[in-house]
Chains A and B, each alone.
Chain A
Amino acid sequence: MASGVSIGNGSSAMLEATGIVKTFGTLKANDNVNLSVAEGEIHALLGENGAGKSTLVKMLYGSLQPDSGEIRWRGNKVSIPSPFAARHIGIGMVFQHFSLFDSLSVADNIKLSLDREFGKGDVAARARSLSVDYGLPLNPDSIVGDLSVGERQRVEIVRCLLQNPSLIILDEPTSVLTPQEADNLFVTLERLKGEGRSILYISHRLDEVKRICDRATILRHGKVVGHCDPRQETASSLATMMVGTSVAAIRRDGSSSKGEVLLELAAASMPAASPFAVALRDVSLSVRAGEVIGIAGVAGNGQSELFKMISGEETLSDNGSIKMMGKPCASIGINARRRLGASFVPEERLGHSAIPQMSLTQNMLLSRHGSDRAAFLRFGPVGLIRPDVTLRATKRVSEAMDVRKVGDDPDASSLSGGNLQKFIMGRELDRQPSVLVVNQPTWGVDAGAAARIRQALVDLARNGSAVVVISQDLDEIFEISDRITVIHDGKLSAPMTASEATLEKIGLLMGGANPGHELPPAPDVAHTDAHDRAVH
């Protein structure tokens, strides 16, 4: 190993990456990126979706190799050919999409990431004591597939800490946590920092970056566009640096005059369809014309099941437990519900709301062949597709939502996440649905597209439709909802108006606190605050 000494912007740099370039095909994911992380600091890496954050940290962790550029570790030039090498020199990582194995136990999951030197002896016992020590309780014998998202993250963190890393990379760690769980995480991070470790903290949440980070590097379109001390900045100045332009705030003017109830769930229940699915229990909700209802919740608490139940991807035997436009519809399929005037947008774009290998016109047909049969098809039962009509509809939608694409009718896979989501949203809005149910409308979407989509949702409601938005993004929930409810373990809390809802109240409900009733049974530290909480 070379023994040169770093002469960068300070001798205390633990990690220093200079001139990093990484190209995928024609996309420059990282273009001459410089990053320096000092000893004992929490360093934020800020940027929008697709700015190149994940690519950069994958190279620091050895999962990807840079095309050019150099990495220095404690002053020495190093190459990091694999995650094993990264862990060996003291770099640990906590992934956003956890790199866990559902069918294996917590102890086995931990063993798999430990290299020979750490993997000896009783891993389970060490994991247990370390997790207690850091206030991250874990049972090494449980099967990971049965754990909640927060618990899974603890497995990732404990697994990382067991190797005693000097630098810990955390990729969007709070996107799956309740605000209270996030607070606990920040306590842990402060302690780690106090132990002299450095933390590279990736996020697009500006408040928390301002709160815990010492320095920030901002990426945009693969390039570093600035460094700053986030404590000296405002959230909006950070946002402007991240996005490049200032993003328009959502207009919610106009009184939300409540009309009749268009969507009603009356104690609807649905059993779990598979071992790791969530059962929905007595879900009740009524949504009026003109309002946006936001359903908050931590991932994996029944959001996708709720979407399936309302959309009719899964039907119920009790037809009356769901009503749309006043008509019972719980046992009719998704197309019959669309014909009643409802539209649906699921969470996953690729392979659920759109088929990547198919063209946009075919994707147009995907959700609308039933509701727009008269326009899109001819010859009755033969069902001959009319390519001219679907193409016109595709053009109309693309213009209305400003979908950027190459050619008139490219494959869905060639669109960026934001543009594809705009197309999908536009496909449904084009029908002027009376009821719209959306799961995670802006997940993985750039800020410009997200703003446009949120505005469209608000506008749809203002024009007299009932809109349900299921989202894990609390900022989004607060930005567009008239009323807010929380899904936890397959149950829905009583909705509260946006003005009575606070981040704290919603966060507690997300953690499972049951207002006005007993304490939640979970041993989670985050939940203990529930006791002090004033109810209604």
Chain B
Amino acid sequence: MDMFQNILITIATAATPLLIAALGELVVERSGVLNLGVEGMMVMGAVTGFAVALSTGNPWLGMLAGTIVGALFSQLFAFLVLSVATNQVATGLSLTLLGLGLSGMIGESFVGQPGIKLPNVEIPMLSELPVVGKLLFGQDPIFYIALALVFSVWWFLFRTRAGLTLRSIGDNHDSAHALGIKVLRIRYLAVAFGGACAGLAGAHLTLVYTPQWIENMTAGRGWIALALVVFASWRPARVLAGAYLFGAVSIGQLHAQALGLGIPSQLLSSLPYLATILVLVIISQNRRLTLINTPASLGRPFVPDR
């Protein structure tokens, strides 16, 4: 039973960064912006989180710093795409390339150093419940933040006026502009939120998942988060399901490697990537559904006439 719970906990730990990064990107895309720089913002959050935690000795400060740096880093993308109207695909890519380069440089001196882990939040009594106690009530703080984010993002998007405004921009920025809605300002904020989420997700990697710094340690998680948003057809609850599914796949292949089934480890390691492709294919196949769900102005530049 304990082993079962432990597996579930590792799945949750693997799913959490994907969940947070994907929720952030979901909000960005709902506002009509496609930010392919998730990987870059995530890795920046990871290195900052690690560096700050190590140099202050305080992992909470590391978590906060990772989040802030993610948000700041995203503004580079926001400035180019929103104020200078550059191509969103290319700009997002360059954010990823720059993030991978910068983080490598910043993290150089931290390679091989042991990191500091965020303490688990243990709720007395409840965390000692059998089977689910530790899973639900004895996890790292970011696990709870992620779950809270699922609900808050849903509530914000579908239950508040600001959320409605954000969705309206994603649907048709020209109409929104004609009504006097500040399209660019709201998009700046959305991109910052997405960056903060990616940064937090990255900090989770270095402060919870594997408390150390390895170059390029995001290993494509930012891209998987992007795929999750498509998989979830831009709905928060479905992102939750997708992230845990991917967490299960990546933990499953790790366990399979440990068991030594004679399957090449490289094949097992490529499973999360192959699963991403498979999921994309299945979900995109229905063009009609994709068309209905995709925010209509996603990726289109907006230049107001003055």
Contacts and interface: CB of A to CB of B under 8 A. Distances in A.
A–B touching in complex (CB under 8 Å)? yes
Interface of A: 24, 62-65, 82-84, 86-87, 95, 98-104, 108, 111-113, 119, 274-275
Given A86-B180, A102-B296, A108-B168, 4 more contacts: A62-B180, A63-B178, A83-B179, A104-B167
B164 interface: yes
Secondary structure at the A interface, as helix, strand, loop or mixed, is: loop
Interface string B279-291: 0000000011001
Nearest to B289: A275
B306 interface: yes
Contacts of B270: none
Contacts of A64: 305-306
Nearest to B165: A112
Contact of B180 (A84, A119, A274): A84
A83 B178 contact: yes
B171 A113 contact: no
Contacts of A84: 180
Contacts of A82: 180
Interface in B170-212: 171-172, 174-181
A24 B288 CA distance: 40
B180 A108 contact: no
Name the 9 nearest CB pairs between A and B, nearest first.
A83-B180, A99-B178, A99-B175, A101-B171, A82-B180, A84-B180, A103-B171, A101-B168, A113-B179
Contacts of A100: 172, 175
A275 B179 contact: no
A87 B306 CA distance: 19
A99 B174 contact: yes
B292 interface: yes
Nearest to A101: B171
9 contacts: A62-B180, A83-B179, A98-B175, A99-B172, A100-B172, A101-B171, A103-B171, A112-B165, A119-B161
Contacts of A119: 161
A24, A99, A274 — most chain B CB neighbours (10 Å) = A99
B165, B172, B174, B288 — most chain A CB neighbours (10 Å) = B172
Nearest to B294: A103
Nearest to B180: A83
Given A99-B179, A101-B172, A112-B181, A275 B292 contact: yes
A482 to B, nearest CB: 39
Contacts of A104: 164, 167-168, 171
A95 B178 contact: yes
A203 to B, nearest CB: 19
Nearest to A63: B178
A30 to B, nearest CB: 14
A120 to B, nearest CB: 10
A119 B162 CA distance: 13
Contact of A63 (B161, B165, B168, B180): B180
Given A64-B306, A65-B306, A275-B291, A108 B164 contact: yes
A119 B165 CA distance: 13
Nearest to B287: A274
Nearest to A100: B175
A62 B174 CA distance: 15
A108 B170 CA distance: 14
Contact of B177 (A63, A113, A274): A63
Contacts of B288: 274-275
Nearest to A274: B291
A320 B292 CA distance: 34
B168 A112 contact: yes
A98 B291 CA distance: 21
A101 B306 contact: no
B26 to A, nearest CB: 15
Contacts of B165: 112
A134 B231 CA distance: 44
B287 to A, nearest CB: 8
Contacts of A65: 306
Interface string B16-55: 0000000000000000000000000000000000000000
Interface string B136-171: 000000000000000000000000010011011001
Nearest to A116: B161
B237 to A, nearest CB: 18
A119 B287 CA distance: 36
Contacts of B291: 274-275
Contacts of B295: 103
A87 B179 CA distance: 10
B164 A112 contact: yes
B139 to A, nearest CB: 36
Contact of A101 (B175, B292, B305): B175
A82 B306 CA distance: 12
A101 B176 CA distance: 8
Contacts of A112: 164-165, 168, 176, 179, 181
Contacts of B164: 104, 108, 111-112
A108 B287 CA distance: 26
A104 B172 CA distance: 10
A113 B168 CA distance: 11
B172, B180, B181, B305 — most chain A CB neighbours (10 Å) = B180
A103 B177 CA distance: 17
Contacts of B181: 112
Contacts of A102: 171-172, 296
A344 B196 CA distance: 51
A108 B169 CA distance: 13
A523 B128 CA distance: 64
Contacts of B296: 102-103
B299 to A, nearest CB: 16
B70 to A, nearest CB: 29
Contacts of B172: 99-102
Contacts of A275: 288, 291-292
A447 to B, nearest CB: 25
B1 to A, nearest CB: 46
Nearest to B175: A99
B161 A111 contact: yes
Contacts of A103: 167, 171, 292, 295-296
A62 to B, nearest CB: 7
Nearest to A84: B180
Contacts of B292: 103, 275
Nearest to B304: A63
B293 to A, nearest CB: 9
A62, A100, A112, A113 — most chain B CB neighbours (10 Å) = A112
A489 B241 CA distance: 40
A63 B175 CA distance: 11
Nearest to A82: B180
A285 B161 CA distance: 50
A83 B174 CA distance: 13
B164, B165, B175, B176 — most chain A CB neighbours (10 Å) = B175
Nearest to A85: B180
Contacts of A83: 178-180
Nearest to B293: A103
B248 to A, nearest CB: 32
B171 to A, nearest CB: 4
Contacts of A274: 287-288, 291
Nearest to B181: A112
Contacts of A86: 180
A69 to B, nearest CB: 16
A374 to B, nearest CB: 38
Contacts of B178: 63, 83, 95, 99
A83 B165 CA distance: 15
A108 B167 CA distance: 11
